[in-house]
Amino acid sequence: MDKFQTFTSTALPLNIENIDTDQIIPARFLKATDRKDFGNNLFRDWRFEEDGSKKAFVLNQAHEANILIAGNNFGCGSSREHAAWALYDYGFRVIISSFFADIFRGNALNNGLLPLQVSEAQLSNLFKIIEENPTTQFTVDLEKETLSSNAFLEDISFEIDPYKKMCLLNGYSDLDFLLLKKEQIEQFALSRF
Amino acid sequence: MKKTLFDKIWDAHVVETINGDHQILYIDKHFIHEVTSPQAFDELERKGIPIANIASIVATADHNVPTVNQHLPIQEQLSRLQVDKLIENCKKHDIELYGLGHPYQGIVHVIGPELGITQPGMTIVCGDSHTSTHGAFGNIAFGIGTSQVTQVLATQALLLTKPKTMRITVNGQLKNNVFPKDVILYLLMHLGTNAGTGYFIEYAGSVFKEMSMEGRMTVCNMSIEMGARGGLIAPDETTFTYLQGREFAPKGEEFNMKCQQWSKLFSDQDAIFDKAYEFEASDISPMLTYGTNPGMGIKINEVIPKIKNTSDEKALNYMGLQAGQQLLNKAIDYVFIGSCTNARIEDFRIAANYIKGKTKAKNVEVWIVPGSQQVAQQIKEEQIDAVFEAANIPIRQAGCSACLGMNEDKIPAGKYCVSTSNRNFEGRQGKGARTILASPLTAAAAAIEGKIIDVSQLN
């Protein structure tokens, strides 16, 4: 996993609630046996017509955004980690929403993608800011747990589990941690049977 | 201390608590399938990590398999490659695989229970969100991502924070022709698609006590549609009777001993749940969905509610429906009876009971897809196949089929499908497909009538 670094970028707004992982990456694109190139099919059916031509969709504008701002309950539905892979591969490093589905949140964190949760009021303000000026720059500082921008005076502070924060900043995964505990897990299994 | 059923099982599986918040949870059973496992095996191989407990793993091929001509090679190249990869990985690691052609093959959440692999008190995971199904037996079962599949393969454990607990109680008598599917769609209509996020749900009350195991599985299956990682029901005589004699269930004296242990799996009286809801069975009607998430439901004779925001507007546009409109008498194009939600023998009995002596409507394409080879076999033994065939409805072979638009069974764009599956998301059953979720009876009736009819009015 890559280390999460502080960055500044524009953000794309996707003001739709309950965006499920079938929209993020439709099932017919889950047939790969590796983790590569899922970004090509990110939001496939919202981005492209049947003939491959582009629809009027926010991702189809010229942009260099590494941040996606989305409506409440982002990532619900299927457990497919391919959704996190697709968002990351496309270039997103942060998803901002007022609520994330459980499995998606975990999958994102396991892949260096930060689910940044803000309040409903903060979310609608962010949508408003981008609507007024789509080139607004935002800075995400994970170390300080802040989202800042020239468009607002006071930084938005967000919360993240301290362990997950440490993992993101250092590029560690749960697997690394669990492998350190393997002997203890084996002992536990023996004590149960 | 008073404990909930969930607490009892969870706490018994905690290897270590770290910094108060995180816990290493030991996993008893790990189901794998072709879609979410290849990258996990790859990572282990790349890092030279062995598999921790091969005996805990059971594999099947379900998402990508065709549901006709399963004796032939899979036509679609990428699907074939993915299934081949599963076969290769299982062979390499000596993992039990119930692949195509095996008498135990089927949808992972159908075969686990019917083989008696799924048992009370266990922790069960699978790289599939509908793993919540297994909770019907009184265990902790939940879907995981591929990174977590890797972790379980490598260590037989996961690092988690303990979810909160929620109890949903439904007491009273269900009305005529109201099925477990209607119960869960009703709960979703009331609670929405994220009420359960961060929680494990225990279903309690007379309605679930009196429900068959098949029905309990339908309910627990859709816990994830409320956002909950899982749902569970305390095991009882119904659970034990279902398990007795199943292939991998304990046998003889061991079974009796297990039943005694399992009988202790219930929430203590006065155990505290973080959230609790109560509903009256008599208020539940046959249900339909009209939108693009499973929480967008109505009682079968109600009208589509007013639009509240742009998300609702988008959903109704996609569905080609309008607020204020009824779905009753709406002509439909497809009927799908299948999926890990409703593809067990009881579901096909319900459908066949209605279809018997009738003929399929000409305007409708009907897909009857058993959840497993064993369910298909039982359909034959009970001569239910003859009922469907006489109605001009062929029975397909076991697999996930039209639930998820991944294999060959896809609903065409713009077409309406009354489906017993679990998700009505945009494009879920195929690009542009319009899904109306319902019970097996409502689906069967739509297959015969060619339109949605009010099954609450039937005898």
- Among residues B398, B403, B404, which one has the least CA distance to residue B102? B398
> Residue B367: pLDDT band by 50, 70, 90 thresholds?
very high
Asked if the Cβ–Cβ distance from B145 to A34 is below 8 Å, we say no
Q: Which residues of chain A have pLDDT under 70?
A: none
Task: Render pLDDT for B269-283 as a digit per residue (tens, 0 to 9).
Answer: 999 999 999 999 999
Q: What is residue B424's predicted lDDT score, i.e. its pLDDT?
A: 98
Task: Give dist(CA B248, CA B104) in Å, integer.
Answer: 12
Please check whether residue B66 is in contact with residue B53, taking contact to mean a CB–CB distance below 8 angstroms.
no
Q: What is the pLDDT of residue B427?
A: 97
- Closest by CA to B242, choosing from B142, B171, B345, B169, is B345
CA gap B257, B251 in Å, rounded: 10
Model pLDDT for residues A11-51, shown as the tens digit of each residue: 999 999 999 999 999 999 999 999 999 999 999 999 999 89
R_g (Cα) of chain A, nearest Å: 18
Answer whether residue B459 shows pLDDT above 90: no
3-state secondary structure B88-108: HHHHHHCCEEECCCCCCCECH
Amino acid at B306: K
Within 170-209 of B, beta carbons closer than 8 Å to A belong to 193-194, 197-198
Confidence label for B19 from pLDDT (cuts 50, 70 and 90): confident
The residues in B 266-325 lying below 8 A from A, measured between CB atoms, are: 293, 309-311, 314
Best A72, A131, A163, A175 member to test B by mutation, with max B CBs in 10 Å, is A175
Mean of per-residue pLDDT scores for chain B: 97
DSSP string of B29-46, one letter each residue: EEEE-TTTSHHHHHHHHH
pTM value > 0.95: yes
Tell me A178's DSSP state: H
Share of chain B above pLDDT 70, in %: 100
Helix (H, G, I), strand (E, B) or coil at B86: helix
Q: What mean pLDDT do residues B11-17 have?
A: 97
The single-letter code of the amino acid at B141 is A
Task: Look at A79 and B129 and tell me if their CB atoms are within 8 Å.
Answer: yes
Contact B403, B340 (CB under 8 A): yes
Which pLDDT does position A192 carry in this prediction?
83
**Closest in A30, A101, A178 to B227, CB measured:** A101
Query: Nearest residue of A to residue B50 by CA position?
Result: A179
Q: Please give the full DSSP string across A66-82, using - where no structure is assigned.
A: -EEEE-SSBTBS---TH
Q: DSSP states of A11-69 as a string? A: EEEE--SS-BHHHHS-GGG---SSS--GGGGTTHHHHB-TTSPBPS-GGGSS----EEE
Contact assignment for A188 to B15 by CB distance below 8 Å: yes
Per-residue model confidence as pLDDT tens digits over B166-193? 999 999 999 999 999 999 999 999 999 9
Q: Give the mean model confidence (pLDDT) for residues B95-123.
A: 98
> pLDDT tens across B295-321, in order?
999 999 999 999 999 999 999 999 999
Domains in chain B and their CATH numbers? 5-161 (3.30.499.10), 164-235+266-283 (3.40.1060.10), 287-457 (3.30.499.10)
pLDDT in the model for residue B1: 83
SS3 label, residue B368: strand
Q: What is the end-to-end Cα distance of chain A in Å, rounded?
A: 36
DSSP E strands in B281-333: the ranges are 287-289, 297-299
**Span B141-148, average pLDDT:** 98
- Identify from A23, A29, A31, A105 which residue to disrupt to test chain B contact, counting B C-beta atoms within 10 A and taking the largest count: A31
Contact state of B193 with A107 under an 8 Å Cβ cutoff = no
- Closest Cβ–Cβ partner in A22, A103, A192 for B427: A22
Query: How big is the A-B interface in CB pairs under 8 Å?
Result: 175
pLDDT for residue B318 = 98
